[in-house]
A and B are shown apart, each in its own frame.
Chain A
Amino acid sequence: MKNTLYTFLFSLILGFTAQAQVLNVPTVEQEQDLWCWAGVSKSAMDYYGAVNEQCEIVEWVRQNYGGFGNDPCCENPSGPCNNTNDIGGEGSGGVQDILKHYLGYNSTLKSFSNTVEQDIVNAISNNRVVPCAWQYFPAGGHAVLIHGYENGYVYYMNPWFGEGKKITPYSSFASGNEGQAPHSWTFSVFIDDNTNGNSVTCDTPTNLSLEDVGSTYARAYWDETSNAEYYNIRLKAQGETIWFDAPSTSDSNSVLIKKLSPNTTYEVQVAGVCNQNSTSNYSSSQYITTLTASEDYCASESNGTFMSWIQNVKLGSIDHSYPRDYEYMDFTHISTSLTIGSSTPMELTYQEQDLYGQREYWAIYVDWNQDKDFDDADEIVYRPGSSAPKSLYLNLNVPAHALPGKTRMRITIGRNNPVSPCGTVSGGEVEDYTLNIIPDGPPICDAVSGLSASNTSHNSFTISWSASSNADSYNVDYREAGGSWNTVNTSTTSYDFSGLAAETSYEVKVETVCSFGNSEYSSSLSVTTNAAPTCDVVSDLSTSNISDQSFTVSWTGDVDANSYDIDYREAGGSWSTVNTSNTTYNLTGLTAETTYEVKVATICSFGNSAYSNTVSATTLAEPICDTPTSLILSNETTTSITASWNASINANSYTLQIRELGDTWNSVSTSNTSYDFTGLKPNTQYEVQITSVCSFGISASSAIVTTSTLDGPLVYCDANGNSVAGEWINAVAFGSINNTSNANGGYADFTAQSTSISAGTSTNITLTPGFASSWLFGTTTQPEFWSVWIDLNQDGDFTDANEQRFVSTTSSTSAVTATISIPSGTPAGTTRMRIAMKRSSAASSCESFANGEVEDYSVTIIEDLPPTCDVVTNLSISSITNNSFSATWNGDVDATSYNVDVRENGGAWTTISTTTASYNFTGLSAETNYEVKVSTVCSFGNSAESNIVSATTLSGPVEYCSASGNSTSEWIEAISLGNINNTSGADGGYADFTTQSASIEIGASASLTITPGFPYSWLFGYTTQAEFYSVWIDLNQDGDFDDANELQYVSPSSNSGYQAFSVSLSIPASAALGETRLRIAMKRGSAANSCEALANGEVEDYTVNIVSSFNGSARRTSFGKISELESSVYPNPAKQSTTLDLTIPANSGNASMRLMDLTGKSVVNGKWSSSEKEQHIQETIDVSSLPKGLYLMQVILENGASQNHKLVIE
């Protein structure tokens, strides 16, 4: 039986429940000063059931290992036996060897180390006690026994007198001087895990019987158990209450109980003692009544066998050895057969304890006439007057007057004198045996006796009988009553019949088969087999536990049933069958509100029963998950309301939903019929609804009920620093808040200070720490972490999403500036901002922390309205020149760009896009009225157009942009064009030769010859640079060279030659008639722009007079409309396409259109014929494949009229 005690301890101090494992070893005090090891061994062995006295343990060590003197330790324990011993070291006789010897336990000796604590835990959990050794300072050692461990505490048994069971911290156990001299833990003995320990269950012996009963003794027999090492026998006289222990025996299944009183009834029990000395329960009682003294032989015994004892007896079939016993042994269950008149060799051997020898006296007695004494003639078989050798040889002669049958032989050995047959001596032993005296004649094959039957069933029974002398085997004859005999042979004294007919009478008789013939048959025994079992129909069939989907079927079954078939069906339907070995079955998965029929049949190994009667059951209707009723809201406070409702019968729980009026629902669950909503906003209307949650579904939602929280201020949680001795919030700057607060004892309420912040905007906050001056001087400031919360949803806490607006990711000891953004959509109103500064780590919003400070402020959130694309304001025109002016306006913050519409003299509007709130118009016509209006372009739409402002350009010449170069290395040496033939040489980078003019007919071409100039050094070295030449003509005379075709020539590649070369100038029909500017640029490395300051090269300007014909006068055109031509382009700007709306006057010739990029390259062309009538054309032009940018559309009539449109392609 395990003695382990598992105990749950509740530690009040530590506040948790722990499981202690403490092995309940007995407390053992060491019986001698130096027997701590014996005390520890005994405690361990007692725990495992091997009960031994300390002196016995020490004696075993003394006998097997020495070192404890010569005296038996149980007789003189305080002498040399009072000695120290080791706990470990196999083969030394220490505790390890003791555990091995007495318990069969293997173990391991370990020195103390850091791993021992875990070893202790493991050992205790495996029910292993741990003997340990301490070394005392200054001298001496001690053994203790660890038997428990719990959460750092050791339970140990200290055999030191008075100490006993102890509890101490592991560290104190390992090393310390707690309550004693200083010690250190040296060794421990760990019982191996593969040792069975005390886990073996000790079986109770069975079939106790008592035989060989004499007047003072009886022999007990029992069935050997599988694990008993020896057995304990106890007895008491009938009517007594106190049990007495008979000597224990290691015999497997019998023991002789001696010293009984004659003619007395005894109750006897036996128990097994197992390997680990755990003891079984005692068996059931058996009773015997001893013989009267006259019925039995007289008693004879010695007072002790410590001097000598009978070692071996040989006679006939007897060859019996038995170790030293006490006083008297009854071996009458051992016998041999002797024939009257025979002489049989006999050998007796004795053993003795001391060295004297040859002082033992044999005596042999046989009760030949079987009168229960040894007083008659020849009954003293051997009793010499002198001592005998250890081994005695003689022949036992059976006298002729001996009576046949069993009789007693008594053998004695006595110290110094022979033992009389009924006498007692001080040393020696007495043993009784049985002799079977056989008459002198032919052998007899005895008939069997005691024939009986048992284990009768419907088809079998067993017969048994007593053994016969001389039997080799037995013939068993049997038959059905009155039938023919059948014979079977067996060498045993029983026979099992099987396969018989039920309720049939059988006759059985047995004869003994001997080597020399057979005996007579025994009398016939009649045995009637039992009735065959029946597989009965079940009874009491009933149903119960009816639900909507199941019910239980129960019945009374048959003892012979192996199982039962349950047939069930919907009433009138088809049967289904299930099987069970029980007498109840739960039918499931049924249909609600349906009647089922059930019947049951018994299934036996030898057949099935008929079906039972049919019973019916109707399943219940499906349960309904009702919606809770009477939902009401009450107990409104500023932040809470209570919802209550009537319970729904089948509800397991309820789901409540709450929301601010019209907001999204939030759900909570409860199994109660009321719920307190907390953390709500003051003065806010809430809606609540509820559903039932049942095991089989959920109900519909209840109607929504509404209430409002009371009006009142929000209550925020407290937060503070407990000390500002070292650091504090010194200043906060946020919007209009600029508060130098200094130290305020850990918390300050500055909610009277407020700043307004618009939702959807960001504002910097600067947080300045303050430190104790001693720190600052010592420059030993602590790492500080800042946190800023804003109660964005104004619900009285800082725990909602995004309400922590800033937290330090690293510590700082200086001022921190962070950007606080207010998310777009944050509700307007005044709310709280909390700022915390905490040493070493970031604070939480409701924390009371050791060092630092918290301050609260107010923030007024301004609602962020949906953005508008506003009309520009204050549109005005300034910086008016003869060909330019500037328009400026006040724009909108949401603008991505502006559409600037401009038109000349009430003509068509041209739209220009700009991203700035101003635009410089250039290339305008002098003395011309222009109108301008602006609309705002936003990502989400455009504004209306602004008011129109107008301006008239000034009169005067057209101003051109400047352009120049550095002529020290290359320059324009000369040009020639028409009448111009100008060798200019190097002119310092730019020369204005506009006084020199050449006429070119409109629509015609002219040749321009350019001669480059280089330094002589370059010429001689043939090392001229790569030069690019560009030629512009301001065809529309708008003061720039940016318009279509105005770049008349640009070098396709570098020209490193120093020779003159010619380019062709082409005056398109759309060119404005009259004088205009010709610009020639020479630039090293790349082509120049028309208004560029060149690093290397030169620019020269000339005048070209564009004439309609050299026969007619020039005709000036202007930007925009020509009276003979009406056209417009829309939309403009265009993305995918634009439409040219063109009116061709009658008989004006063909009309053509060119769409050109800024390089003058035609990207789209069109042509239409005129007629005698005015034509109106609308042509859609696909611009989707063209790059974004500014283009020029030129519409030209054959009569020379033309109109240009700037087209913006997006």
Chain B
Amino acid sequence: MSRIPILILSIFISILSYAQSNNSENVKQIAKSDAINFFNLIPQGQENEYGFSKRSDFDKVEIGEPYQVYFVVKKDGAINFKSTNNWRVPVLVDGKSVALLTVISTKGGAKVVDFGATGLAAKLQEFEAEYTASNERVLIRNTYLSVDYIVPQFSALVDSQSEGLLALKSTTTAKLYPISRSKIASLTPASFVAATLNAVSN
């Protein structure tokens, strides 16, 4: 690799990290201010379906660290990632992650557009308890396989950006962690790519 591409990649990664750090606080602010709108939409008696044991829990809610969401795009036979401009933000009650708010950033501003996903919220917390937390919190949604992945070292997983796509690095030790009923285990990028391409071909 020549020095110029290294420099570009370094700048890109720095920007990615900075942007993520900077965005996280903004995302949390948006989530915190809009959350009550969605909590109040929970039908009486169905609080459990949305992660709460009782409505008074609304007053105890704290906002966790957001996960930026990417999805998988196959292009020219390669696997890429594309940002969705949105974040899954854990809703914490007494330190327990009970649900996720989804914050989306558009030209018109940021806002919460979705609430729920109690299972996914628990899995994210389970992952953070099991593995060393990283400053990078990225969630990849693979619609080819109908599976989500936690990627704690996302910047190490991807290469430079082109046409809005982040290419998967050909050589990387970064891992993906598929979310399923089973205990969370790591998956190599190679396996990830193979499974995805296999699904695409089918």
Same assembly = yes
Instruction: Pick from A5, A36, A139, A148 the residue with the most CB of B within 10 Å.
Output: A139
The one of B114, B122, B181 in contact with A179, judged by C-beta atoms closer than 8 angstroms, is: B114
Identify A167's interface contact among B38, B86, B180, CB under 8 A.
B38
- A29 an interface residue at 8 Å Cβ cutoff? yes
Task: Determine whether the beta carbon of B116 is less than 8 Å from that of A139.
Answer: no
Tell yes or no: B28 within 8 A of A by CB: no
In angstroms, how far is the closest chain B Cβ from the Cβ of A649?
44
- List, in ascending order, chain A residues with CB within 8 A of B104's CB: 172, 176-178
By a CB distance below 8 angstroms, the chain B residues around A675 are none
Q: Is the CB of B46 within 8 A of A5?
A: yes
Does A136 lie within 8 Å of B44, measured CB to CB?
no
How far apart are the CA atoms of A36 and B119 in the complex, in Å?
16
A165-B179 contact given A13-B40, A142-B143, CB 8 Å threshold: no
A20 contacts partner chain B, Cβ-Cβ < 8 Å: yes
Report if B148 contacts A (CB, 8 A): yes
The answer to whether A166 touches B114, judged by C-beta atoms less than 8 angstroms apart, is yes
Distance from B163 Cβ to chain A, minimum over Cβ atoms (Å): 13
Residues on the A chain within 8 Å of B179, using CB: 161-162
What B residues does A775 contact at CB under 8 A? none
Chain A residues whose CB sits within 8 angstroms of the CB of B119 once the complex forms:
29, 161-164
| Contact flag A139-B120 (CB < 8 Å), given A22-B43, A30-B146, A164-B49 | no
Instruction: Give complex CA distance A181, B113 in Å.
Output: 14
Are B45 and A7 interface neighbours, CB within 8 A? yes
> B43, A163: Cβ atoms under 8 Å?
no
**B44 near A8: Cβ-Cβ < 8 Å:** yes
State the CA gap A1039–B43 with chains docked (Å): 110
The residues of B that contact A180 with a CB separation of less than 8 Å are 69, 71, 84, 141, 143
Roughly how many angstroms separate A1027 CA and B131 CA in the complex, as a whole number?
Answer: 131
Residue in A closest to B50 when the chains form the complex, CB atoms: A165
Q: Which residue of B lies closest to A179 (CB)?
A: B102
Q: Which of B74, B85, B114, B118 contacts A139 (CB 8 A)?
A: B74
Chain B, interface size: which category?
Answer: 35 or more
Residues of B within 8 A of A166 (CB): 114-117
CB distance from A316 to the nearest CB of B (A): 59
CB distance A7 to B43 under 8 Å?
yes
The distance from the CB of A784 to the nearest CB of chain B, in whole angstroms, is: 34
Contact bitstring B131-148, A, C-beta under 8 A = 1, else 0: 000000000010111111
Contact A168 B37 (CB under 8 A): no
Contact: A167 with B41, CB < 8 Å? yes
A167 touches B36 (CB 8 A): no
Answer whether residue B175 sits at the interface, using C-beta atoms and an 8 A cutoff. no
Partner of A33, one of B85, B118, B146: B146
Q: Is there contact, CB below 8 Å, between A177 and B114?
A: no
Mark B14-45 against chain A: 1 for CB-CB distance below 8 A, else 0: 00000000000000000000001110111111
Nearest Cβ distance between residue B193 and chain A, in whole angstroms? 15
Q: In the complex, are the beta carbons of B41 and A24 less than 8 A apart?
A: no
What CA separation (Å) do A176 and B112 show in the bound complex?
13
Option from A139, A162, A179 in Cβ contact (under 8 Å) with B200: A139
Which chain B residues lie closer than 8 Å to A9 at the CB level? Answer: 40-44
Residue of B with least CB distance to A168: B114
Closest chain B residue, CB of each to CB of A183: B143
Interface string of A169-211 (1 = CB under 8 A from B): 1001000111111100000000000000000000000000000
A residues in contact with B123, CB < 8 Å = 162
A20, B41: Cβ atoms under 8 Å? yes
| A20 (CB) vs chain B CBs: closest residue | B43
CA gap between A162 and B98 in the complex, in Å = 11
Taking a contact as CB atoms under 8 Å apart, the answer to whether B113 and A172 are in contact is yes
From B36, B46, B73, B115, contact of A13 by CB (8 A)? B36
Interface residues of A in 13-71 (CB under 8 A from B): 13, 20, 22, 24, 27, 29-30, 33-34, 36
- Please name the residue on chain B nearest to A151 by beta carbon: B41
Chain A 1043-1064: CB-based contact to B (< 8 A → 1; otherwise 0): 0000000000000000000000
- Interface size class, chain A: 35 or more
A150 CB within 8 Å of chain B? yes
Query: Is B84 within 8 A of A181, CB to CB?
Result: yes
- Asked whether, in the complex, the Cβ of A162 is within 8 Å of the Cβ of B120, the reply is yes
CB neighbours of B148 from chain A (8 A): 160-162
Taking a contact as CB atoms under 8 Å apart, the answer to whether A139 and B40 are in contact is no
A20→B119 CA distance, assembly (Å)? 24
- CB B195 to nearest CB in A, in angstroms, measures 10
In the assembly, what is the distance between CA of A1172 and CA of B113, in Å? Answer: 127
* A11→B38 CA distance, assembly (Å): 9
Provide the residues of chain A in CB contact with B117, threshold 8 Å.
158, 162-164, 166, 179
Interface residue from A12, A20, A138, A169 paired with B73 (Cβ < 8 Å)? A138
A140 at the interface (CB under 8 A from B): yes
Q: How far is the CB of A143 from chain B (nearest CB, A)?
A: 11
Least distance between B185 CB and chain A CB atoms (Å):
15
Which of chain A's residues have a CB closer than 8 A to the CB of B122?
A: 162
CB distance from A111 to the nearest CB of B (A): 21
Contact in complex: B71, A179 (CB < 8 Å) = no
CB-CB contacts of B176-198 with A at 8 A, as 1s and 0s?
A: 00011100000000000000000
Could you tell me the distance in whole angstroms from the C-beta of B73 to the nearest C-beta in chain A?
5
Question: Which residue of the partner chain B has the closest CB to A159?
Answer: B146
Task: Check A153 for interface membership: any CB of B closer than 8 A.
Answer: yes
For B115, the chain A residues whose CB sits under 8 A away are: 166-168
Partner of B116, one of A8, A22, A163, A182: A163
A696 at the interface (CB under 8 A from B): no
Nearest-Cβ distance from residue B48 to partner chain A, whole angstroms: 10
Task: Please state if B86 and A7 are interface contacts (CB–CB under 8 Å).
Answer: no
Contact B85 A13 (CB under 8 A): no
- A10 is an interface residue with CB less than 8 A from chain B: yes
Q: Which residues of B contact A150 (CB under 8 A)?
A: 41
B100 at the interface (CB under 8 A from A): yes
Name the residue of chain A whose CB is nearest to the CB of B67: A179
Q: Which of B42, B50, B121, B143 has the most CB of A within 10 A?
A: B143
Chain B residue nearest to A30 in the complex (CB): B146
- CB-defined contacts of B72 to chain A, threshold 8 Å: 181
For residue A136, which residues in chain B have a CB less than 8 angstroms away from its CB?
143
Which A residue's beta carbon lies closest to that of B101?
A: A179
- The CA-CA distance from A161 to B120 in the complex, in Å, is 7
Tell me if B46 and A179 are in contact (CB < 8 A): no
- Whether the Cβ atoms of B36 and A177 lie closer than 8 Å is no
> For residue A138, which residues in chain B have a CB less than 8 angstroms away from its CB?
73-74, 143
Chain B residues, CB < 8 A from A139: 74, 143-144, 200
CB pair A140 B116 closer than 8 Å: no
Q: What chain B residues lie within 8 Å of A160 (beta carbons)?
A: 146, 148
Among all A-B residue pairs, the 6 with the closest Cβ atoms: A162-B120, A7-B43, A166-B116, A181-B71, A140-B143, A162-B119
Not counting A11-B40, A155-B43, A165-B50, a sample of 9 additional A-B residue pairs whose C-beta atoms are within 8 angstroms of each other reads A11-B41, A12-B36, A142-B146, A158-B117, A162-B148, A167-B114, A167-B115, A179-B113, A179-B117
Q: What are 19 A-B contacts with C-beta separation under 8 Å?
A: A5-B45, A5-B46, A11-B40, A20-B43, A136-B143, A142-B146, A148-B43, A160-B146, A162-B119, A164-B119, A168-B116, A169-B113, A172-B104, A176-B104, A177-B85, A179-B86, A179-B88, A179-B117, A180-B141
Q: Which residues in B have some Cβ–Cβ distance to A below 8 Å?
A: 36-38, 40-46, 49-50, 69, 71-74, 84-86, 88, 100, 102, 104, 113-123, 141, 143-148, 179-181, 200
